[in-house]
């Protein structure tokens, strides 16, 4: 492969932009796993669901996918709240969340993917929008709008989330519930309700992430599986419960993936984030008690 400085720089820029998108994909996990300690491996399935909803609305009504996602957010929030309630009653309350809770989410992931296959088949679906197609040119650098726009909106979304988590009462309660449920109860705040809200927000973010996904690339049901490793890799690298950490880690992963893809070929790309994850987990200095 001919090494060229332009190629390298383009790969890095592309990696940063994709990283912004990865941050959107991961922020839901940062919330549910990093902060609430719920291993929702079905999160990518909800993202794909969001993609397909954006696709249907877009192909039927021509509505912009991001707008669609924003409209659909309340429904996803309700879905998330409902799922958490089932999870809490069936697993957290009984102390079974480690094995059965995991199996539960795995089952959800699986069911969602298979249902999408049954309804939509395995063909790739894509959306149309004015910013899909045009590319900005800055000298030697090319920035496709279809990656730039989701990246920017995603950063806005994370900014909003960070604001909510640090400046609003509910947000701070969410950060607190991970650390001290008793203190919350003493403040007459129901920790279960807070967790339900948090999980709802987590799934709601998936709706937007799904819209971003289908703008950036065509989607088919099994695409979600690639993202499982990515989201957890980014979340862990980013320090678990930190939104800013998530953004930085996401861009790092994006850059490494982009460089690998450019210089070694795209068929190695899936292994990058998963490899990252394995490495991070292996090197991470956590004991049984450490977090």
Partner 1 sequence: MTGLLEVDNLSKRFGGFVALENITLSVRAGERVGLIGPNGSGKSTLVNCICGTLRNEAGSVGFDGHSLNGESAHQRTRRGLARTFQLPRPFASLSLADNMRVPLLYTVAARSGRAAARDIDDRCVALLREVGLDGKARRLPRELTQVEMRKLELARAMAAEPKLLIADESMAGLTHSEIEDILALLNRLNGQGVTIILIEHIMRAVMSFSRRLVVLVSGRKIADGEPNAVVRDPEVERAYLGQ
Partner 2 sequence: MRSDLFLLVCLIVGGLIFGAALLLNNDYYFFAGYVVLQYVVLSTAWNILGGYCGYVNFGSAAFFALGAYSTVAVHRLDPMPIPVLVAIGGVVSGIVGLAMGYLTLRLRGAFFAIATLALAVVLETLIVNWDYVGGSRGAYIVRPETMPPFGSYIKYLFLIMMLLAVGAITVARLIERSRLGYGFATIRDDELAAEASGVPTLRLKLIATTISGALMGMAGAPFPYYIGFLQPSSAFGLDYAVNSIAMPLIGGTTSWVGPLIGAVLLGSLQQIATVTISSAVNLLIVGFLLVGFVIVAPNGIIGLFHRYVRHKPDDPVGRREVRIEASESAPGASL
Residues that bind partner 2 (CB under 8 A): 33, 39, 41, 86, 90, 94, 96, 98-100, 102-104, 106-108, 110-111, 113-115, 117-118, 225-226, 228-229, 232-233, 236, 267-268, 270-271, 274-275, 277-278, 281-282, 284, 286-289
| Tokens 């309350």, residue located | 93
Binds partner 1 (CB under 8 A): choice among 2, 118, 182, 289:
289
Applying CB under 8 A, the span of 121-129, 134-142, 266-274, 282-290 interacting with partner 1 comes to: 282-290
C-beta closer to partner 1: residue 2 or 289: 289
For the bound state, the minimum distance from the C-beta of residue 30 to partner 2, rounded and expressed in Å, comes to 14
C-beta closer to partner 2: residue 39 or 174: 39
C-beta closer to partner 1: residue 167 or 291: 291
Q: How many residues bind partner 1 (CB under 8 A)?
A: 3
Residue 102 has, within 13 A of its CA and on its CB side, a CA count of: 3
Contacts (CB under 8 A) with partner 1, residues 173-232 = none
C-beta closer to partner 2: residue 65 or 221: 221
Q: Pairing mode, if any, of strands 135-138 and 141-144?
A: antiparallel
Binding site partner of 187, from partner 2, partner 1, none, Cβ cut-off 5-8 A by kind: none
Binding site partner of 1, from partner 2, partner 1, none, Cβ cut-off 5-8 A by kind: none
Gap between the Cα atoms of 107 and 129, Å rounded: 34
C-beta closer to partner 2: residue 6 or 226: 226
C-beta closer to partner 1: residue 70 or 176: 176
CB 28 within 8 A of CB 169: no
- Does residue 186 come out as left (phi exceeding 0), alpha (psi in the -120 to 50 range) or beta? alpha
Strand partners, 187: none
For the bound state, the minimum distance from the C-beta of residue 182 to partner 2, rounded and expressed in Å, comes to 21
| CA-to-CA separations, 266 to 111, 259, 260, 269, in angstroms, rounded | 28, 10, 7, 5
**End-to-end alpha carbon distance in the chain:** 42
Binding site partner of 271, from partner 1, partner 2, none, Cβ cut-off 5-8 A by kind: partner 2
Q: Encode 13-50: b = buried (16+ Cβ within 10 Å), e = exposed.
A: bbbbbbbbbbbbbbbbbbbbbbbbebbbbbbbbbbbbb
| Residue (of 26, 46, 1, 83) closest to 239 by Cα position | 26
Structure tokens at 174: 């969410």
287 is a contact residue toward partner 1 (CB under 8 A): yes
């Amino acid at each position: 492969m001919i090494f060229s400085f332009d190629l390298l720089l383009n790969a890095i820029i592309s990696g940063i932009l994709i990283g912004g998108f990865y941050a959107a994909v991961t922020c839901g996990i940062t919330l549910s796993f990093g902060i609430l300690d719920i291993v929702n491996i079905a999160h990518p399935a909800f993202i794909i669901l969001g993609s397909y909803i954006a696709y249907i609305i877009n192909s039927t009504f021509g509505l912009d996918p991001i707008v669609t996602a924003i409209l659909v957010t309340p429904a996803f929030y309700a879905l998330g709240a409902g799922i958490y309630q089932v999870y809490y009653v069936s697993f957290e309350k009984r102390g079974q969340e480690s094995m059965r809770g995991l199996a539960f989410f795995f089952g959800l992931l699986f069911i969602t993917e298979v249902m999408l296959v049954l309804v939509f088949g395995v063909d790739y679906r894509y959306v149309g929008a004015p910013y899909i197609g045009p590319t900005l040119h800055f000298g030697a650098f090319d920035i496709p709008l279809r990656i730039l726009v989701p990246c920017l909106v995603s950063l806005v979304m994370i900014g909003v989330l960070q604001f909510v988590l640090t400046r609003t009462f509910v947000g701070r309660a969410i950060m607190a519930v991970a650390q001290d449920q008793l203190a919350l109860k003493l403040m007459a705040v129901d920790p279960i309700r807070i967790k339900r809200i948090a999980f709802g927000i987590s799934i709601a973010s998936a709706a937007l992430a799904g819209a971003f996904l289908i703008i950036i690339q065509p989607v088919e049901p099994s695409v979600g599986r690639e993202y499982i490793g990515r989201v957890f890799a980014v979340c862990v690298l980013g320090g678990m419960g930190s939104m800013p950490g998530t953004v930085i880690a996401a861009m790092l992963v994006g850059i490494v993936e982009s460089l690998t893809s450019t210089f070694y070929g795209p068929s190695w790309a899936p292994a990058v984030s998963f490899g990252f994850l394995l490495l991070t987990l292996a090197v991470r200095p956590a004991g049984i008690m450490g977090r």
